[in-house]
């Protein structure tokens, strides 16, 4: 029962991490928007909550003394998969921080060319902040706050990984997979070859009745063509 719950939590963490990875790839692109940044924040917070819950379950299970050898090996495989998810999540969070810093969402858009020409009221209005400039300052402040929060969350994930490795000593290179590398590809190739063989068995290399019918049809066709040529010459 506990193993099934850990698997369910790990599957949810896998989905959240994959979703966050796809969202991070769009930061700074044409699809970047305020909705994307909010979705990024919600997804990474959900992933962190799932990581805390999964880590607590796996830690409790692996530190217990009532596990058999087979059951402990299964929990160790789940632990290695969980550690890989955390590593990917931390790497994507660092990528999101770098992209968010390089491509701020509410950066002031200044003209590329400055001619130096200004109206008569330009000097008077220059000292008074406009509503647009105040809004841009507030938005830039929110961007900075989001990046600082992301930095804190990256440190929290790194600390979680460190504590996890200190509480449970499961070297990743000692955990054995349940199937050989490339087993899924081999199984799919075997299924396709089996289907091809079964198709050949159903159809057969050559059907004698169909071959005879094709031969008779070809002879009748040739006779008709020869008769038509003779009639054309006599006429």
pLDDT digits (tens, 9 = 90+) for 6-60: 899 999 999 999 999 999 999 988 888 889 999 999 999 999 999 999 999 988 8
pLDDT tier at 74 (50, 70, 90 boundaries)?
Answer: confident
What DSSP string describes 169-189? ---GGGPPPSS-TTHHHHHHH
Computed over every residue of the chain, the mean pLDDT equals 76
Q: Indicate if the pLDDT at residue 133 is higher than 80.
A: no
* The pLDDT of residue 125 is above 50: no
User: 65 pLDDT band (50/70/90 cuts)?
Assistant: confident
Alpha carbon distance 217, 18 (integer Å):
61
User: Of the ranges 54-68, 116-130, 143-157, 211-225, which is most confident?
Assistant: 143-157
More confident residue, 114 or 59: 59
Q: What is the CA radius of gyration of the chain?
A: 34
Percent of the chain at pLDDT exceeding 70: 67
Q: Any idea how long the chain is?
A: 235
User: What tens digit of pLDDT does each residue of 145-154 get?
Assistant: 889 999 999 9
CA distances from 120 to 123, 125, 184 (A): 7, 10, 74
Residue 135 has pLDDT above 80, yes or no: no
Closest CA to 138 of 92, 174, 181, 106: 106
Q: Is the pTM of this model over 0.75?
A: no
The reported pLDDT for the residue numbered 110 is 46
Work out the average pLDDT over 206-221.
72
The reported pLDDT for the residue numbered 122 is: 46
The pLDDT value recorded for residue 184 is: 54
Q: Of 57, 69, 63, 73, which Cα lies nearest the Cα of 4?
A: 57
Provide the CA 235 distance to its chain's centre, in angstroms.
77
Burial class (CB in 10 A: 0-12, 13-18, 19+), 82: buried
pLDDT at position 96 is 94
8-11 — which CB contacts under 8 Å span 24+ positions? 9/50, 9/53, 9/54, 9/57, 10/54, 10/78, 10/81, 10/82, 10/85
Q: What was the pLDDT predicted at 199?
A: 46
């Amino acid at each position: 029962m506990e193993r099934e719950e850990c698997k369910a939590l790990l599957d949810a963490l896998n989905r959240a991490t994959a979703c966050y990875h796809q969202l991070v790839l769009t930061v700074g692109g044409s699809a970047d928007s305020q909705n994307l940044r909010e979705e990024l924040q919600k997804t990474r917070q959900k992933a962190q909550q799932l990581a805390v819950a999964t880590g607590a379950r796996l830690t409790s299970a692996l530190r217990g003394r009532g596990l058999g050898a087979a059951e402990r090996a299964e929990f160790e495989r789940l632990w290695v998969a969980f550690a890989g998810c955390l590593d990917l999540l931390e790497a994507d969070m660092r990528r999101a921080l770098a992209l968010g810093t390089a491509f701020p969402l509410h950066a002031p858009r200044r003209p590329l060319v400055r001619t130096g020409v200004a109206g008569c009221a330009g000097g008077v209005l220059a000292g008074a902040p406009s509503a647009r400039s105040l809004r841009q300052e507030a938005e830039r402040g929110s961007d900075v706050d989001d990046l600082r929060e992301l930095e804190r969350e990256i440190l929290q994930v790194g600390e979680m990984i460190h504590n996890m490795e200190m509480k449970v000593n499961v070297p990743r290179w000692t955990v054995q997979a349940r199937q050989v590398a490339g087993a899924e590809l081999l199984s799919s190739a075997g299924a396709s070859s089996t289907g091809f063989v079964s198709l050949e068995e159903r159809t057969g290399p050559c059907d004698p009745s169909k071959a005879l019918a094709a031969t008779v049809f070809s002879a009748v066709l040739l006779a008709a063509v020869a008769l038509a040529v003779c009639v054309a010459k006599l006429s």
